[in-house]
């Protein structure tokens, strides 16, 4: 089974790029299951219902989220209705939506979990470990394979989660920093891991934002409204090839399109 994970969609331009290209990319790379982190896919901080529906029509099987997902209150009821859109599990049971779901992938039951880290993150949530443990325990026997999106700033935190669930979660990838990392690896017990997928958005800026705005804010420390960057739109992602007989990832390939 070939699983494609795409990094944070940072703008409507990134959303449009996936709308035009994702099905083609799925066909080219023979993708069986696709996860897109879509927490900033709309003009409003977070994701809108329309943007989420468009991503799902355009080739995403699941949309994961992050620290901005719940800032757009207009999407709360939709999160409760649409199981294919996730928000970080460790926001807790009182938050709208779900932090995990089980989806069909080539006839297999794919458990997808979305959590948020705690280091240098806002808001600061409870540690994700107990939440992951609870889902893996409660859903035991109800899924065949598992994928985990760790939306976090610190690579050390992501790596720790990777090793903690090596062999228990088949694919673990990081999101949030918008910069693709070069540490894709297969952990000792067969879990495919990478610290950050990258992003899908305008490439000539600072993490998808206009460089001039970001530099000015950092120089002055004064409030500054960020605007989208310019330049070609690029989508970063990683393909994990999973051996369905053993549950081990056998290959990891970075892609940009």
* 239: number of Cβ within 10 Å: 20
- Collect all residues with Cβ–Cβ distance below 8 Å to 35 and sequence separation of at least 6: 3, 4, 5, 6, 60, 61, 62, 63, 64, 112, 147, 149
Q: Which residue numbers are catalytic?
A: 68
């Amino acid at each position: 089974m070939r699983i494609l994970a795409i990094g944070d969609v940072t703008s409507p331009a990134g959303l449009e790029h996936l709308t035009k290209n994702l099905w083609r990319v799925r066909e080219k790379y023979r993708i069986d299951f696709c996860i897109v982190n879509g927490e900033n896919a709309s003009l409003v901080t977070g994701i809108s219902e329309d943007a989420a529906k468009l991503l799902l029509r355009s080739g995403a099987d699941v949309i994961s989220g992050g620290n901005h997902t719940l800032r757009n209150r207009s999407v709360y009821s939709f999160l409760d209705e649409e199981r294919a859109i996730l928000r970080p599990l460790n926001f807790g049971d009182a938050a709208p939506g779900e932090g995990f779901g089980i989806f069909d992938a080539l006839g297999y039951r794919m458990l997808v979990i979305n959590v948020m880290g705690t280091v240098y993150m806002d808001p600061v949530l409870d540690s994700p470990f107990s939440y992951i443990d609870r889902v893996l325990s409660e859903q035991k026997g109800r899924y065949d394979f598992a994928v985990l999106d760790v939306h976090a700033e610190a690579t050390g935190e992501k790596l720790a989660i990777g090793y903690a669930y090596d062999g228990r979660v088949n694919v673990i990838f990081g999101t949030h920093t918008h910069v693709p990392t070069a540490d894709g690896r297969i952990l000792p017990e067969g879990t495919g891991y990478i610290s950050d997928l990258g992003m899908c958005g305008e490439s000539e800026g600072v993490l998808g934002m206009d460089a001039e705005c970001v530099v000015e804010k950092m120089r002055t420390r004064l409030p500054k409204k960020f605007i989208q960057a310019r330049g070609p739109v690029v989508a970063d992602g990683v393909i994990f090839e999973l051996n369905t007989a053993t549950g081990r990832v056998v290959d990891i390939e970075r892609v940009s399109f």
